[in-house]
Amino acid sequence: MRIGVDVGGTNTDAALMDGTTVVASVKSPTTEDVGGGVVKAIRDVLERSGATPGSIASVMIGTTQFTNAIVERRRLVEVGIIRLALPATESLNPLIDWPKDVVEVIGLNVYMAKGGYEVDGREISALDEVEIAGIARDIKSKGLRSIAISSVFAPLNGAQEERAAEIIKNEYADAQITLSHEIGRVGLIERENAAVMNASLVKLSSKVVGAFRQALKELAIDAPFYISQNDGTLMGADYVERYPVLTFASGPTNSMRGAAFLSDQENAVVVDIGGTTTDVGVLSRGFPRESAVAVDVGGVRTNFRMPDVLAIGLGGGSFVRGEDEITLGPDSVGYELTSRALVFGGDTLTATDIAVAAGFADIGDKTAVAKLDSAKVKSALDRIHTMVEDAIDRMKTSAEAVPAILVGGGSILINRDLKGVSKLVMPEHSAVANAIGAAIAQVGGEVDRVFSYETEGRENAIAQARKEATQRAIDAGAATNSVKIIEVEEIPLAYLPGAACRVRVKAVGDLASG
């Protein structure tokens, strides 16, 4: 059996699954101590199901810890930033578009060095190994352990980044190094940003993964655990410690994967209503549609894979204000919903109170909202449904009505048809779709590179990309014989020599154990 856990800002959800059957699920408030919250959620789901710790084959965890660290500018470390590009890119320094408050935490420890490639594979300049060794010694003298290395067109050829890392390790054995071509896609600045963000999180990733390990030890669960990443697949614990940025936006992704599983729908809009926000995404072949543009994380542009998700300030804990003109959110009582909402004895009118007053939900003390003005309740409901309809419309790619899947603990806010939706599905266990999405996730690997079809040939290039994607899935914990290619994308790059083409391949497979 598997346990899926999703640690959100308001709730920590857990689901126990036996094959494709949901045995039990729980929702509990998120605690300040992330490990303590995980322990409570898993213990509750074990007690509810009667399962023993020894019957658990694997545990899958989704977490927002790393996203929150970037957004809140907390628990980050200073980073030594090395760009291999000279004499190119001198006019555009690393961190040039970062918010000042993030730079103050990350530090301006920037080193520009010779290196990099043209799009056709030719070197901009050769790597200067003596120069790199000197940079390593300087970073060591500053006491910085975390280093990010980027170079121009590294996804085409990562050799210079890899050689630079070897030189640095020889000079500074304790250095923790992030290579940009292992995380981001084509596009120097955004890929470099992703590498720097990853490097700033390495200390936190070790702490969070350690907390999860300790939580399972406390529960006497002797099983491997995995952490979900933002493409709907899983990473082994060691992999997460190296690449924490790959967990960004994994919460909405888990919800979408869970929604696809629970509803048996592979192509639909997913509306995930939580305590603070509503996340709207699109399923394509059972996986989240990925964003085709640079994604902003905490004010920093990145280009590694991210789900195409629209978040709006509407949730079960959203403040409801106004009389004639009702407004909802974007602020929320969050995890304090069970103490601040009217139906739970509090003094704050929330969206949950509106749902209870309208008869949509039977929770808390209904008498606490019995005297709410009916016109105000109706106006608030209209506003809730309009906000969701507008969000769905913004995510659709055509004017035609589409099926929509409603999940999340805040899904009680919706109880009527939505404009632009052909069929509204609210499956069983929808409140914990995020935990179920984590529990059923597979392991994935991806390659996004530029090839010269003139030099390598189209068939050879695609075969190489497929092989690399498959190996990355295996390295991340997939069973070798289960890996399959689910997506191959070719984007010809006009006006570039050598019939250049950007090739993106995605592979997924089942866990090697559990």
Tens digits of per-residue pLDDT, 373-427? 899 999 999 999 999 999 999 999 888 999 999 998 888 899 888 999 999 999 9
Rg (CA), the chain: 24
Give the whole-angstrom CA distance, residue 432 versus residue 92: 45
pLDDT of residue 34: 67
pLDDT of residue 235: 79
pLDDT of residue 512: 74
Phi first, then psi: what are they for 172, rounded to 5°?
-145, 85
Q: Give tens-digit pLDDT for 62-107.
A: 887 787 788 778 789 999 999 999 999 988 899 988 999 899 999 9
pLDDT of residue 127: 95
Long-range contacts of 162-167 (CB under 8 A, 24+ apart): 163/127, 163/129, 164/82, 164/84, 164/113, 164/115, 164/127, 164/132, 167/129, 167/132, 167/133, 167/136
Specify the higher pLDDT residue, 128 or 118. 128
The one-letter code for the residue type at 283 is L
Phi first, then psi: what are they for 438, rounded to 5°?
-70, -40
Give the whole-angstrom CA distance, residue 33 versus residue 30: 8
pLDDT of residue 458: 93
Residues 192-211 have a mean pLDDT of: 91
Give every strand in the sheet of 146-151, ordered side by side: 109-114, 79-86, 146-151, 176-179
Q: Name the β-bridge partners of 511.
A: 478
pLDDT of residue 32: 67
pLDDT of residue 434: 86
Q: Give tens-digit pLDDT for 315-333.
A: 888 999 988 788 887 888 8
Give the whole-angstrom CA distance, residue 246 versus residue 150: 17
Residue 289: which of 323, 252, 342, 316 has the closest Cα?
252
DSSP code of 11? E
Tell me the pLDDT of the chain averaged across its residues: 88
Phi first, then psi: what are they for 221, rounded to 5°?
-95, 110
In degrees, rounded to 5, the angle at the alpha carbon of residue 254 between the alpha carbons of residues 291 and 284 is 45
**What is the reported pTM?**
0.76
Residues 306-311 have a mean pLDDT of: 82
Q: Is the peptide bond before 427 cis (omega within 30 degrees of 0)?
A: no
- Would you say residue 514 has pLDDT above 60? no
Query: In this prediction, what percent of the chain has a pLDDT beyond 90?
Result: 42
Give the whole-angstrom CA distance, residue 320 versus residue 322: 7
Q: Give tens-digit pLDDT for 152-165.
A: 988 878 899 999 99
Residues 163-188 have a mean pLDDT of: 91
Residues 439-462 have a mean pLDDT of: 86
pLDDT of residue 9: 64
Q: Name the β-bridge partners of 407.
A: 272
10: confidence class by pLDDT, cuts 50, 70, 90: low
Residues 488-509 have a mean pLDDT of: 84
Give the whole-angstrom CA distance, residue 147 versus residue 164: 11
Highest mean pLDDT: which of 302-316, 356-370, 490-504?
Answer: 356-370
Residue 317: which of 300, 294, 342, 295 has the closest Cα?
342
